[in-house]
Amino acid sequence: MMLHRQAISSRMTRMLPSFVRSMATTETPLDASKVKIIKTNTPSKAQPNDQLVFGKTMTDHMLTIEWNRGKGWATPEIKPYAPLSLDPSCCVFHYGFELFEGLKAYRTSDDKISMFRPDMNMKRMNKSAARICLPTFESEELIHLIGKLIQEDKHLVPEGTGYSLYVRPTLIGTTNTLGVSVPDKALLFVICSPVGPYYKTGFKAVRLEATDYATRAWPGGVGDKKLGANYAPCILPQLQAAERGYQQNLWLFGPEKYITEVGTMNVFFAFQNKETGKKELVTAPLDGTILEGVTRDSVLALARENLDPNEWEVNERYFSINEVADRAAKGELLEAFGSGTAAVVSPIKEIGWKGKDISVPLLPGEQSGPLTKQLASWIADIQYGRNKHDNWSQIVAELK
């Protein structure tokens, strides 16, 4: 199973670049220097933090860039937020030519606005585009354009830990035809939303249902791409889990019941070998079925840099719900949490499996384990400018 999954993923990766080059050529590259800015005549005021509902409020402006095969990328436009006008036969509606990204910008402690690791999102967005035959673009150019968009609405970026500007770049095929073919037109647009914590309850541990009656992704599929088609099919299992008192699904795969992801997030578990005392932080490997999460990568990097290697191992490997259940029974399960852009780090307290709940330890009187809490703090300190880490933060606006 492991070798088969990895072989399919590797083969797909080798095939995609030449295939896409043969199907799509962009003569005019994306160029941020040519951006046209049309300012709104009715700028809005920032909402109080306690009134922000995740993804419900949008900023005053949006970025749009059209693409045409043979001509390439048109002039980027930053303009007042407004509905899109699309023909009913547009291929995005019928055949799912759609992908998106999610990243955040933060108001830092020294009155600047910074984006967190946007290069990672652009790299993943281009991989998603290549997979479904939509045009790729120059990553740095789109980062610059998003920075200019944020500058226009910098006064709407909320202040305070847990609050940020959620940025949603989206790319859709816009060819008007009911025939199934490679799109010759596309639209890249970016909208932004001032947000607070993803969950209304804030940093609070959740209950999961280990799910083997539905599958999020499979070998040779697109589970490692951020396509809208990956998300809608997951809503019904989530509703079914909610009927049984669980907030999210813990996705399993194959007869081995390997743990892959949780809800729309990557997932981590911490174990301790009772005999040796050695601790292990583990997450599923990137085998083509796992989304290459930016927060996942950040957690792995910070854990490897900061945890004592004499005490901890940090591994990307296959592990099953049966291993989790067995180790919990032996007192070797220490912690579990999800990681993603929206919620950043989301602690887990229980996992429903075979009619029983596996209990995940939490700190007394708190909603997470010590490592989960520490990792969340490390990431937040970088995002809000309290600590520096390589080139993870890119300043896009000054508030003073």
Q: Please report, for the chain, the start and end positions of each structural domain, with discontinuous segments joined by +.
A: 12-195, 206-368
Residue 31, pLDDT score: 97
Q: How far is it, in rounded angstroms, from Cα 162 to Cα 399? A: 19
Please give the DSSP secondary-structure letter assigned to residue 34. Answer: G
- Helix, strand, coil shares of the chain as percentages rounded to 5? 30, 30, 40
Radius of gyration of the chain (CA): 22
pLDDT in tens, 99-109: 999 999 999 98
Residue 18, pLDDT score: 45
Residue 175, pLDDT score: 98
Q: Above 70 in pLDDT, residue 1?
A: no
Tokens for 319?
């592990």
Least confident of 113-117, 185-189, 363-367: 363-367
Beta-carbon contacts of 88 under 8 Å, excluding residues fewer than 6 positions away, are none
Beta-carbon contacts of 262 under 8 Å, excluding residues fewer than 6 positions away, are 208, 248, 249, 250, 251, 338, 346, 348
Residue 200, pLDDT score: 67
Confidence of residue 223 (pLDDT cuts 50, 70, 90): very high
Fold of 206-368: D-amino Acid Aminotransferase; Chain A, domain 2 (3.20.10)
* Crossing angle (nearest 10°) for helices 294-306 and 118-131: 140
Confidence of residue 27 (pLDDT cuts 50, 70, 90): confident
Stretch 363-376: mean pLDDT, rounded? 94
Mean pLDDT over each residue of the chain, to the nearest integer:
93
State which CATH number among 3.90.1150.10, 3.30.470.10, 3.50.30.40, 3.40.50.300 fits the domain covering 12-195: 3.30.470.10
Stretch 62-69: mean pLDDT, rounded? 97
Confidence of residue 343 (pLDDT cuts 50, 70, 90): confident
Phi-psi region of 288 (alpha: psi -120 to 50; beta: other; left: phi over 0): left
Residue 144 to residues 76, 106, 132, 138, 247, Cα–Cα distance (Å): 11, 16, 25, 10, 37
Q: Above 80 in pLDDT, residue 22?
A: no
3-state SS assignment for residue 240: helix
| Share above pLDDT 90 across residues of the chain, in percent, rounded to a whole number | 88
Residue 14, pLDDT score: 45
- Candidates 145, 104, 147, 124; CA nearest to 342 is 104
- Provide the residue type at 258 as one letter: Y
3-state SS assignment for residue 285: coil
